[in-house]
Amino acid sequence: MERLFKDWLDDPLARLGRQPNLVVEHHDKITKENGPYIANGAMRSLRAVYNHARKSNTDLPATNPVSAIDWNKEHRRNSGMGPNDIGGWLKELYAMENPLRREFHLLILFSGSRPTALKKVRIEHIDLRARLIHIPQPKGGEDKAFDIPLSRPMIRCVVRAIRWGQIMYSEQAKSWLFPADSEIGHLVEHKEVRDVLSKWGNELRQSYRTLAQAAGISELDIHLLMNHSLPGVNAGYITRDRLLRDHLRQQQQRISELVVQSLEATRYPSLVRWLKSTKVEETVDQAEPGLEPDTMSIAA
């Protein structure tokens, strides 16, 4: 809302209610500049804001101005990877020049997390002893806060990320799991050139969902692991926290093992060593000269 409607933030909603053509024009503008899916999502948010405001202000025009737009056609994207695709993608990932971004993309694949949530993980959100990452403000706000159970490959990924952060951005790494030389101090832009990395962002989230199914994880457990709303009336009686430390972590481990096993039958032993190590020496030649990563401590 703050980004795509920044010119309207101080405008009264009644203006839009009386002039729905403004909404139509803005939808067309966002479609052209940001794409059809983002434009539709922005308008759903505006529609919800208007409907909520009208509950306490009946002077607003009764017809929601968003109803005047012609929605862009949307098709379910089938861009996720299956078990047979992972080996090639990991080879691309391992070849990336920035090792911290490499661990970021790998953790998205391992966790199925939204990229925005992982960018904002602070060091204090990580509990290696309990094998959890806390996400305090995911999509949906604080009420949807949850913990990600960590498999063994995920723990190794987190440890490597911490160590690379200490090497590359020592000051920012005191606060963030994925530090960067940005104004806020953490990774901001996660997009990659397709010729360098063919899948990233929500495509990895879709891949996680596909891999979970291939690993034989139940639909309910997948919903719990991805922090989705639970389907059905009876699911509302399930207490996620009671399943987190044992059952859900075991399911997470099965998904991670499927990723690692996809490489073990290939001719890329260096990739297997990377996934099974907490050390950064495998790619130390990419670090800044003069730094010795094996002397770095792990923030726990």
Quick one: how far is CA 186 from the chain centroid? Answer: 14
How many whole angstroms from its chain centre is CA 203? 10
- Do residues 105 and 51 share a domain? no
Q: Are residues 161 and 51 in the same domain?
A: no
C-alpha torsion sign, points 48, 49, 55, 61: negative
pTM of the prediction?
0.72
Sheet holding 126-127, edge to edge: 126-127, 132-135, 146-149
Evaluate whether residue 1 is within a structural domain.
Answer: no
Residue 39 domain boundaries: 6-68
Residues 162-205: tens digit of each pLDDT: 999 999 999 999 999 999 999 999 999 999 999 999 999 989 99
Q: Do 99 and 23 have their domain in common? A: no
Burial of 242 (0-12, 13-18, 19+ CB in 10 A): exposed
Residue 163, domain member (yes or no): yes
**How many Cβ atoms are within 10 Å of 196's Cβ, its own excluded?**
12
Domain boundary among 68, 101, 117: 68
d(CA 297, CA 178): 16
Number of domains observed in the structure of the chain:
2
Residue 149 resides in a domain: yes
Same domain, 93 and 118: yes
pLDDT tens by residue, the chain, 300 residues: 888 999 999 999 999 999 999 999 999 999 999 889 899 999 999 999 999 999 999 899 999 999 999 999 877 666 789 888 998 999 999 999 999 999 999 999 999 999 999 999 999 999 999 999 999 988 777 877 889 999 999 999 999 999 999 999 999 999 999 999 999 999 999 999 999 999 999 899 999 999 999 999 998 889 889 987 665 544 444 555 666 668 899 999 999 999 888 776 567 788 888 888 887 755 444 333 332 333 333 333
- Give a yes or no: residue 170 inside a domain: yes
Quick one: 186 and 38 in the same domain?
no
Measure the CA–CA gap between 177 and 163, rounded to whole angstroms: 10
In a domain, 78, yes or no: no
Same domain, 125 and 174: yes
Burial of residue 230 (CB within 10 Å: 0-12, 13-18, 19+) is middle
Residues 119 and 209 in one domain: yes
Chain segment 37-64, per-residue pLDDT in tens: 899 999 999 999 999 999 999 899 999 9
